[in-house]
Amino acid sequence: MAEPGEDSLFEAPPMGEQERMVEAILFASAEPVTVAELNARMPHGADAAEALVHLRKRYDGRGVHLVKVGDAWALRTAPDLGFLMQKETVETRKLSRAAIETLAIVAYHQPVTRAEIEEIRGVSVSRGTVDQLLELEWIKFGRRKMTPGRPVTYVVTDEFLDHFGLESARDLPGLKELRAAGLLDSRPPMGNLPAGEAEDDDDGPPPDDQGEMFDE
């Protein structure tokens, strides 16, 4: 995109055509696409950011929505029509209670170290639990903390945000929404077990009314 006041050697396509270009790129992409990546593919002088604003309005109320995932954009099925895609599901796996708790702690406290996760949960975090979340690409390694030992931290990924239809971690549900989704129950809160007690890797999935948000 040309700098303000700089004459472009080529006239930018009409905004309607730019919208079509952005739509085509997003439709063909398997992953969310950033504005910078869109501009790099579009003709000189095009403004992908402005085209996205117009395109998002155009998709408002349609069966497909233009959504922001972190710093990128993607076309996604409207949330209320998700039931139509159920036949496309090949495999459904439920995370264990330990994995759900670990994922929730990372999401709400990121960047967070393993020691901090264990302090909040009140039990040791098994390597298998963390490896499962890393394999799902719902968490990733963050920056090392500037503390003794320089421990690595964990943060949620854009894949996590995309899976749950969140624009950023700031859009995570609050306590009321978690209870409504069945992710909180009346069992003893995390941290009531003796510190350092190891979790059970085979504790199985949560009850049927729990873990719905974390189905894959």
Q: Is 5 within a domain?
A: no
- Verify that 77 and 181 share a domain, yes or no: no
Q: Which pTM was predicted? A: 0.49
Does residue 50 sit in the same domain as residue 105? no
Same domain for 104 and 193? yes
- The answer to whether the Cα torsion of 143, 144, 145, 151 is positive or negative is positive
The reply to whether 199 and 137 lie within a common domain is yes
Q: Tell me, what CATH number does 183's domain have? A: 1.10.10.10
How are the residues of the chain apportioned to helix, strand and coil, as percentages rounded to the nearest 5?
A: 40, 10, 45
User: Domain range holding 207?
Assistant: 97-214
Domain count, the chain: 2
Last-in-domain residue among 81, 110, 138? 81
Residue at 212: amino acid letter: E
The 3-state DSSP class for residue 149 equals coil
Judgement on whether residues 53 and 146 belong to the same structural domain of the protein: no
d(CA 155, CA 139): 5
| Domain edge (last residue) among 56, 81, 106 | 81
Task: Give domain status of residue 89, yes or no.
Answer: no
In-domain check, residue 173: yes
Asked whether residue 9 is assigned to any structural domain, the reply reads no
Shared-domain flag, residues 206 and 176: yes
Tens of pLDDT, residue by residue over 70-126, are 899 999 988 888 878 766 545 556 778 888 888 888 988 889 999 999 998 888 888
Based on the domain organization, do 120 and 50 belong to the same domain?
Answer: no
Q: Where does a domain end: 51, 81, 111?
A: 81
pLDDT band at 206 (very low <50, low <70, confident <90, very high): very low
Q: In the predicted model, what is the mean pLDDT of residues 119-139? A: 88
- Asked whether residue 87 is domain-assigned, the answer is no
DSSP H stretches of helix in the chain: 15-28, 35-41, 48-58, 97-109, 114-121, 127-135, 158-163, 175-180
Residue 12 pLDDT exceeds 50: yes
Question: Could you please report the per-residue DSSP string of 83-128?
Answer: GGGGGG--------HHHHHHHHHHHHH-SEEHHHHHHHHSEEPPHH
The encoded tokens of residue 60 equal 């408002």
Q: How far is CA 76 from CA 1, 88, 143, 174, in A?
A: 27, 15, 30, 24
- Joined together, the tokens standing for residue 134 give 């890393």
Closest CA to 71 of 3, 139, 162: 162
- The residues near 107 (Cβ < 8 Å, ≥ 6 apart) are 156, 160, 169, 172
On whether both 76 and 108 belong to a single domain, the answer is no
The arithmetic mean of pLDDT across residues 35-52, rounded, is: 94
**How do residues 144-181 score in pLDDT, each as one tens digit?**
988 888 999 999 998 888 887 787 878 777 656 655 65
